Amino acid sequence: MQLTPTITFRGVERTAAIEDEILARLHALEAYCGQIMGCRVLLEPVQRHHEKGNRYHVRIDLTVPGDEIVITHEASLHKTAQDVEAAKLTKAAESDPERKHVRVAIREAFDLARRRLQDYARRRRGAVKRPAGPARGRVSQMSPVDEFGYIEAEDGHEVYFNKRSVLKQSFDRLAVGSVVSFVEEPGEKGPQASTVKILHPRRVHHRSQTTAGARVVR
């Protein structure tokens, strides 16, 4: 990164552990785009739930050549609570749920930043326009409660989809690793998929064999 990042804690106790985690995730972003010229990160609480603790807001401003990428994210209480509960089961000796809430919000915000940087890098490389017909990929992330997920396309980029996009009301049959076909289109937050269709394993296997045979012929 060409400039020292600015990290602001507003209404949140600044700790070395949280600051180090933010810095580590910032450096990791450079693997997806080595042209980050500057970065500002803001961490602040949004509201307090009497049982589950604070809900945190993370804002990330990335300055890149010719553009500025802004990510604003609030981790859902439900998802944060799940992470905290899992941590309690595996490490009962540590009782600091608020730190877990903060870390979940940071992780989710930087996941969004990574996807936005990947899209920016592809645009800068002048990637060839993708065909309007169905593409193929695998489900890389799923959020059954919030009814959305992400597909990793064959070229490695990620595409958002929601329950309404899945054909034949088969959203509940999807899992991480499911092979699907989809039509990609631009959305408010980047690439999104419509007409997502689960591909039958036999059909995928047949297609792979056909493709392999074609390569051997060449």
The domain tally of the chain equals: 2
d(CA 80, CA 105) in angstroms, rounded, equals: 8
d(CA 122, CA 118) in angstroms, rounded, equals: 6
List the pLDDT tens digit at each of the 218 positions of the chain: 666 899 999 988 899 999 999 999 998 888 777 778 899 999 998 865 544 556 789 999 999 888 889 998 876 554 444 444 444 433 433 445 556 778 888 999 999 999 888 888 877 766 445 555 688 999 998 988 889 999 998 888 888 999 989 998 889 999 999 999 998 887 766 788 888 999 865 444 444 444 334 333 33
**CATH code for the domain of 22:** 3.30.160.100
> Domain end: 91, 124, 157, which one?
124
Contact yes or no for 184/153 (Cβ under 8 A): yes
Same domain, 120 and 141: no
Same domain, 140 and 213: yes
Secondary structure string (H, E, C) spanning 138-176 = EEEEEECCCCEEEEEECCCCEEEEEHHHEHHHCHHHCCC
> Domain end: 124, 152, 177, which one?
124
Q: Which two tokens stand for residue 127?
A: 């990637």
Same domain, 100 and 119: yes
Task: Give a yes or no: residue 94 inside a domain.
Answer: yes
d(CA 218, CA 215) in angstroms, rounded, equals: 5
Domain that includes residue 143, residue range: 135-217
pTM for the whole thing? 0.50
Task: Give a yes or no: residue 129 inside a domain.
Answer: no
Contact yes or no for 159/153 (Cβ under 8 A): yes
Same domain, 85 and 105: yes
Same domain, 67 and 147: no
Same domain, 39 and 76: yes
d(CA 176, CA 168) in angstroms, rounded, equals: 19
